[in-house]
């Protein structure tokens, strides 16, 4: 049973990196998940798709700088300790 907290941390870092590399113009707009497509006003139900779009946009905005730091640390540590 090798599922440890450390592997969870690694998986989380990789997932956040994956969300961060989704390009707004080249990719998200083409599949209709762009941030200016159909947000809808102050209606009652945001719906899953707009929640997901918002989530992706927020993660990309908020985690941009911390990801740089955490990735640099991870690179250095993995180079040193394998």
Partner 1 sequence: MQPAGLAAAGTPRQRKWPSKRRIPVSQPGMADPHQLFDDTSSAQSQGYGAQRGPGSLGYPAAAASPQAAFLADPVSNMAMAYGSSLAAQGKELVDKNIDRFIPVTKLKYYFAVDTLYVGKKLGLLFFPYLHQDWEVQYQQDTPVAPRFDINAPDLYIPAMAFITYVLVAGLALGTQDRFSPDLLGLQASSALAWLTLEVLAILLGLYLVTVNTDLTTIDLVAFLGYKYVGMIGGVLTGLLFGKTGYHLVLGWCCVSIFVFMIRTLRLKILAEAAAEGVPVRGARNQLRMYLTMAVAAAQPLLMYWLTFHLVR
Residues that bind partner 1 (CB under 8 A): 1-8, 45-46, 48, 51-52, 55
For residue 45 the two structure tokens come to: 């139900």
In the bound state with partner 1, the residue whose beta carbon lies nearer, of 38 and 72, is: 38
CB 68 → partner 1: shortest distance, Å? 23
CA pair distance 47, 69, nearest whole angstrom = 34
In the bound state with partner 1, the residue whose beta carbon lies nearer, of 2 and 18, is: 2
In the bound state with partner 1, the residue whose beta carbon lies nearer, of 5 and 65, is: 5
Q: Is 3 exposed, middle or buried (0-12, 13-18, 19+ CB in 10 A)?
A: exposed
Q: Which residues contact 64 (CB under 8 A, 6 or more apart)?
A: 20
For residue 33 the two structure tokens come to: 């998940």
CB 78 → partner 1: shortest distance, Å? 20
CB 1 → partner 1: shortest distance, Å? 5
């Amino acid at each position: 049973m090798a599922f440890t907290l450390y592997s969870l941390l690694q998986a989380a870092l990789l997932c956040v990196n994956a969300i961060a590399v989704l390009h707004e113009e080249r990719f998200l707009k083409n599949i209709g998940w762009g941030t200016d497509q159909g947000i809808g006003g102050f209606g009652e139900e945001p719906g899953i798709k707009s929640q997901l779009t918002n989530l992706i946009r927020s993660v990309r905005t908020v985690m941009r700088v911390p990801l740089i730091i955490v990735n640099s640390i991870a690179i250095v540590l993995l180079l040193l300790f394998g």
